[in-house]
A and B are shown apart, each in its own frame.
Chain A
Amino acid sequence: DAGVTQSPTHLIKTRGQQVTLRCSPKSGHDTVSWYQQALGQGPQFIFQYYEEEERQRGNFPDRFSGHQFPNYSSELNVNALLLGDSALYLCASTLLRLRRATQYFGPGTRLLVL
């Protein structure tokens, strides 16, 4: 049973650039959520995708956007990178029809913006 996978594991970008992070959900899951975890902090919810649409969104600017594909995998895009975007980006998946289902997390992508 494949768990949540993310790529790449590490990434270095410069200010103003754009970045795309990828996530494949756990087998059988149809919903993907993205979180940003700054150093020394707890994860913060960015947004959730279900049926290829953004279903919920946290308090993040429009520079953060996403996409979900028919196979339920997802991408997180960040435009016009700022130094403050340096963080661990976590993807989590779940099965939405199970109300209040547990989320399962991937290993994360460490993004460093210089």
Chain B
Amino acid sequence: AQTVTQSQPEMSVQEAETVTLSCTYDTSESNYYLFWYKQPPSRQMILVIRQEAYKQQNATENRFSVNFQKAAKSFSLKISDSQLGDTAMYFCALPTQTGANNLFFGTGTRLTVIP
């Protein structure tokens, strides 16, 4: 069974600073992929970044990057140069089963960017 653990219920960061959100997971699959989604107060779930498990290189999208440690089953999200618009819930997720694109989500981390 899939598990996703986000151990930081809430975090805050000063504007322009860097913050790292942690995620650990467990899966019996060998070929999988992982996501970080952002959910601002508007409720819309927005894809932040995606990582393929077979790729050794960490994914990067502008100010967002991941630290993917496959052996440790760790998938942390780093946000550089934090902006007020980054204030949101952040969810780590992986597919529910092999070949599926439906997702199993963690409980989320509430990030607040302080001006």
Give complex CA distance A50, B23 in Å.
31
From the candidates A88, A94, A110, name the one contacting B101 in the complex (CB within 8 A). A94
A90 touches B45 (CB 8 A): yes
B105 touches A43 (CB 8 A): yes
Please give the number of chain B residues whose Cβ is less than 8 angstroms from any Cβ of chain A in the complex.
26
Q: For B4, what are the chain A residues with a Cβ–Cβ distance below 8 Å? A: 42
Instruction: Tell me the chain A residues, 44-96 only, with Cβ under 8 Å from chain B.
Output: 44-45, 48, 56, 58, 88, 90, 92, 94, 96
Give complex CA distance A43, B44 in Å.
12
Q: For B102, what are the chain A residues with a Cβ–Cβ distance below 8 Å? A: 33, 45, 48, 56, 58, 103
From the candidates B43, B100, B104, B108, name the one contacting A56 in the complex (CB within 8 A). B100
Give complex CA distance A84, B107 in Å.
18
Evaluate whether A42 and B44 lie within 8 angstroms (CB atoms) in the complex, with A94-B101, A100-B95, A102-B50 already known. no
A107 touches B43 (CB 8 A): yes
Instruction: How many A-B residue pairs have C-beta atoms within 8 angstroms? Tell me.
Output: 60
B96 touches A56 (CB 8 A): yes
A106 touches B44 (CB 8 A): yes
| CB-nearest residue of chain A to B105 | A42
A105 touches B45 (CB 8 A): yes
In the assembled complex, the CB of A81 is this many whole angstroms from the nearest CB of chain B, namely: 21
Interface string of A19-30 (1 = CB under 8 A from B): 000000000000
Give complex CA distance A75, B79 in Å.
36
Give complex CA distance A41, B107 in Å.
5
B45 touches A43 (CB 8 A): yes
B residues engaging A (CB < 8 A)? 4, 33, 35, 37, 42-47, 50, 91, 93, 95-97, 99-108
Given contacts A58-B96, A100-B101, A103-B103, 12 further A-B contacts (CB under 8 A): A42-B107, A42-B108, A43-B105, A45-B96, A45-B104, A48-B102, A100-B95, A102-B35, A105-B44, A105-B45, A107-B42, A110-B43
A-B contact pairs, 17 of them (CB 8 A): A33-B101, A40-B107, A42-B93, A43-B45, A43-B91, A43-B105, A45-B103, A45-B104, A56-B96, A90-B45, A102-B35, A102-B47, A105-B37, A105-B44, A105-B45, A106-B44, A107-B44
